[in-house]
Amino acid sequence: MPVLEQVLRGPITRRAASTNSLPRALPAGQLSLLILQASPFCNLDCRYCYLPDRDDARRMPLELLDRVMAQVMASGLPGPELSIVWHAGEPMAVPRGWYEAAFATVASHAARAGSTRVTHHFQTNAVLIDGAWCDFFRRHGVRVGISVDGPAALHNAHRRTRDGRGTHARVMQGITQLQAAGLPFQAIAVLTRDALGQADAVYDFFAGLGAQQVGFNVEEVEAAHGQSSLQAGADRPDAEAALRAFWAQFLQRLRAEPGRLRVRELQAVLAALRHPAFGQLTGNAQNQPGRMLNVAFNGDWCFWSPELMGAHHPQRGPVVMGNLAQGSLPLAAPPAGPTVPAVPTAAAQPLWAAWQQEIDAGVAACHTGCRYFDFCLGGAPANKLAELGQVGGTETLACRLGQQVVVDAVLASLDGQLPPLR
Amino acid sequence: MTRRYRTLLGILLGLVGSASGPTQAKPAPAPAAPAAPAIERVADIRARLQAHDAALRPVDGTTPPEAQVAQWFNWPNWANWSNWNNWNNWNNWLKWGKY
């Protein structure tokens, strides 16, 4: 993960706070990202997709959404800004009418709570965007992210319909609709092995796309996607060297045209370096409790990486901390913690806290052993579970390819460009 | 033989020697120590980036347009120098955004 970016937000948690002897209390006011799965269904069948149930067209009942939002707002978890991301399935495969009702439900709970401003986000494959959807986006101030992998040949090799047809032309039509409506958008691309030798083509495509920013995810081993093209095979090493070459060339192009393209991964490294508490942070939103909340269409929930929804732990079982159709969300500890004890004993420990202990052990090991810790802050439990079979492990392929390679490229470029200190 | 003639003879012999046969191969230069990975110099690089930022920082806390794009690593135009959270909150979603 692209863990780099989201690690940087939220209140500063300084180092040396975290060991694993006691479970933590849930922090108040730190939830900033709520992932809601309107439906697990997706109208496409991308080769690298990690979602296990993308044939399942069931929808979150609006009554359940009402209950979820009531609990979220009453939990003390949300901070002043809450981004609701409709994801973990193709959000636009659910009718607009459902969202009209859903957004009204969200708005009513946010208004009642009063202290949290909600922004809606769609991460979409774009093939269903039309004028009516653009009107909906505008009316509700929805921030739109488009999944597109670059030039047609690269994109169509992986992002396909169920009957194997490439979707690039339809994605570009969707983008044209957004642009005609004057709506800004961002782009997210997956770097597969075949993209790595095409840095110039990928750069040219995104530099000309008109997106506010592009984010690159390396193709990860995750959940339902058990093999990545970036892994080593019998006849080839893993893609680290090729990825280093890709970023080196990409940075060359950026240097030549500063300001033309904003790249999430590069901005994230810069932001980390500029963070006032660089070197003192202890974790990120994907490995700390109460900063991201993921709710499936049926009410199952967990904290941490959204990709954990639907994943299984070899010993602990499904990554489900409870179900909001029947149970309730844990409450945040009120501010001014000294009077509020952490959950004291294993017997009284909620399920999430037991998982958190394993996650914390991994983050602590990362802190001790990895020189990139100050950039990634302990990585993503989803990658650790998928690659290492536990949420408490340390380095993964995703770490090396998605984090370390980018950090190295940015630092090397800065090292070559910035004058020495006087 | 005076010192002058000895010197001249030495020069001539040297010239003959260098022209008449293969010179002794120079020993290969010792391989340069590989540059330390940039991650090991992160403190220095960070300090240099901060110095670069400080030199551009205007009084009113906003980045002047020309400085936004002068280098690829400059603050983009949506960042406010005086308010870190302005950057942090810029786009919560894309920070995690996946496929």
- In the structure encoding, which two tokens stand for residue A137, read together? 């986006």
Alpha-carbon gap, residue A162 to A127, rounded angstroms: 13
For chain A, the first-to-last Cα distance in angstroms comes to: 36
Task: Show residues of chain B in contact with A249, CB under 8 Å.
Answer: none
In this structure, the dihedral spanned by the alpha carbons of residues A333, A338, A339 and A343, taken in order and rounded to 10 degrees, is: 50
Report how far residue A167's alpha carbon sits from residue A173's, in angstroms, rounded to the nearest whole number.
10
Q: Which of A241, A250, A294 is nearest to A269 (CA)?
A: A250
Kindly list the residues from chain A whose CB atom is less than 8 angstroms away from the CB atom of residue B74. 258
Q: Does B86 touch chain A (CB under 8 A)?
A: no
In a domain, A286, yes or no: yes
User: Is 50 exceeded by the pLDDT of residue A246?
Assistant: yes
Q: Is B81 among the domain residues?
A: yes
Pull the structure tokens for residue B44: 């220095």
Look-up: residue for tokens 């959807």?
A133
User: Is B94 within a domain?
Assistant: no
Question: How far is A66 from A98, CA to CA, in rounded Å?
Answer: 13
Render pLDDT for A29-41 as a digit per residue (tens, 0 to 9): 999 999 999 999 9
- State how beta strands A143-147 and A185-191 pair: parallel
Percent with pLDDT over 70 in chain A = 91
Q: What contacts A348, CB < 8 A, 6 or more positions away?
A: none
Nearest to B93 among A85, A407, A419 (CB): A85
Continuous segment of H or E residues that includes residue A302 = strand A300-303
Helices (H), A4-95: 62-74
Domain that holds residue B79: 41-89
Structural domain contains residue A80: yes
Is pLDDT of A224 > 50? yes
Distance from CA of A4 to the nearest CA of B (A): 8
pLDDT tens digits, A79-124: 999 999 999 899 999 999 999 999 999 999 999 999 899 999 999 9
Q: What is the ipTM of this complex?
A: 0.89
For residues A14-39, average pLDDT: 74
- Which range scores top for mean pLDDT: A15-19, A105-109, B26-30? A105-109
Chain B environment of A402 (Cβ under 8 Å): none
Range of the domain at A386: 6-11+28-336+344-417
How far, in Å, CA of A333 to CA of A349, rounded?
14
Q: Please report the pLDDT score of residue A222 as a whole number.
A: 84
Average pLDDT rounded to a whole number, residues A176-185: 97
| Chain A partners within 8 Å of B34 (Cβ) | none
Give the number of domains in chain A: 1
Nearest chain B Cα distance for residue A243, angstroms: 16
Is A128 in contact with A167 (CB distance < 8 Å)? no
Q: What are phi and psi of B47, to 5 degrees?
A: -65, -40
B45 to chain A: which residues are within 8 Å by CB? Answer: 273, 411, 414-415, 418
- Chain A hits for B42, CB-CB cut-off 8 Å, are 273, 374, 411
Q: How confident is the model at residue A20 (pLDDT cuts 50, 70, 90)?
A: very low
The Cα–Cα gap between A130 and A180 comes to 10
Tell whether the model's pLDDT for residue B78 goes beyond 80: no
Closest-CA distance, A7 to chain B, in angstroms, reads: 8
Query: Is B11 a domain residue?
Result: no
> Which member of A49, A81, A123 has the closest CB to residue B92?
A81
What is the pLDDT averaged over residues A296-321? Answer: 95
Residue A1 lies in a domain: no
Q: Is the CB of B90 inside 8 Å of chain A's CB atoms?
A: no
Chain A (222-261) residues lying within 8 Å, Cβ to Cβ, of chain B: 251, 254-255, 258-259
| CATH (domain of A207) | 3.20.20.70
- The answer to whether A67 faces chain B, any CB pair under 8 Å, is no
Overall number of domains in chain B: 1
Residue A18 lies in a domain: no
Query: Mean pLDDT throughout A194-212?
Result: 96
Count of CB atoms within 10 A of residue A61's CB?
A: 13
For residue A20, being part of any structural domain is answered with no
**pLDDT score at B18:** 43
- Spatial CA neighbour of B71 closest among B47, B40, B49: B49
A147 in contact with B, Cβ within 8 Å = yes
How many Å apart are CA A243 and CA A255, to the nearest integer? 18
Q: Is B71's Cβ below 8 Å from some Cβ in A?
A: yes
∠A94-B98-A189 over CA atoms, to 5°?
A: 105
Q: Which two tokens stand for residue A229?
A: 């093209």
* Over residues A358-376, mean pLDDT: 96
Gap between the Cα atoms of A4 and A99, Å rounded: 31
Kindly state whether A415 is in contact with chain B, defined as any CB-CB distance less than 8 angstroms.
yes
Instruction: Say if B48 falls within a structural domain.
Output: yes
How many whole angstroms separate alpha carbon A263 and alpha carbon A188?
10
CB–CB contact A217 B99 (8 Å): yes
Q: Is residue A422 part of a domain?
A: no
Quick one: DSSP state of residue B62? B
Q: Which of B46, B72, B94 sits opposite A264 (nearest CB)?
A: B94
Higher pLDDT, A344 or A175: A175
Asked if A372's CB is within 8 angstroms of B39's CB, the reply is yes
Q: Count CB pairs under 8 A between chains A and B.
A: 139
- Report helix angle A199-207 to A240-256, nearest 10: 40
Assess if residue A387 is contained within a domain: yes
Residue B30 is assigned to a structural domain of this protein: no
Spatial separation of the C-alpha atoms in residues A77 and A293, rounded to whole Å: 9
